[in-house]
Structure 1
């Protein structure tokens, strides 16, 4: 299935991008507000704290821990559509808590139903998705 640039005015795309904006400013409650109560959230094992989580509270804790790794953080999400899925190529850069410059790019694949995120699967290498 082809992955194409997404229309940022698409309500589902706008919802997901709002979550990234909330994460970037450290507002984790807003970042998880659109998650379904039974959301499945999968981060690559090689990421700090990576693995599978279920439910908004578990995802919120992961995002808090992840955000705490950064002293300065710039988030640059680029949305794509792949059928019903929203793929975000997420470039993140800044300074880690110890002052070390760091940058990374990952891909996050979202499944939404009725305006709620029901699943997110992240990939360390965007080429694995695109």
Structure 2
């Protein structure tokens, strides 16, 4: 993550929400990993554990993409960062549904993540109009 970002950008509502989603994703993944890391009775691993890592990777990428879009001067490059934020949001949403089908106690928190993603999408729409 970018540690020396301008305080102006860290105060953006969409950036704040992206950081909340990142923290929530990390917490959910920690809950899920405990249940999903155990091997199955046949010795195979649960493939759902990869989705728990995916939600962390996707959520950690949201903040830098938002900042890159804010800092970019050229509209075509700015649009690439905006598209990346949209793609990451969609992937997070899809992976939350995939994880909800897993056999874990942590899956109860996934509707909270989707609720936050819905709020993020509303902020994203407004943010896109301001760029």
Does the pair score TM above 0.5? no
Q: Which structure has greater helix proportion?
A: 2
Structure number with bigger Rg: 2
Report 1 or 2 for greater relative contact order, CA contacts < 8 Å, sequence distance ≥ 6: 2
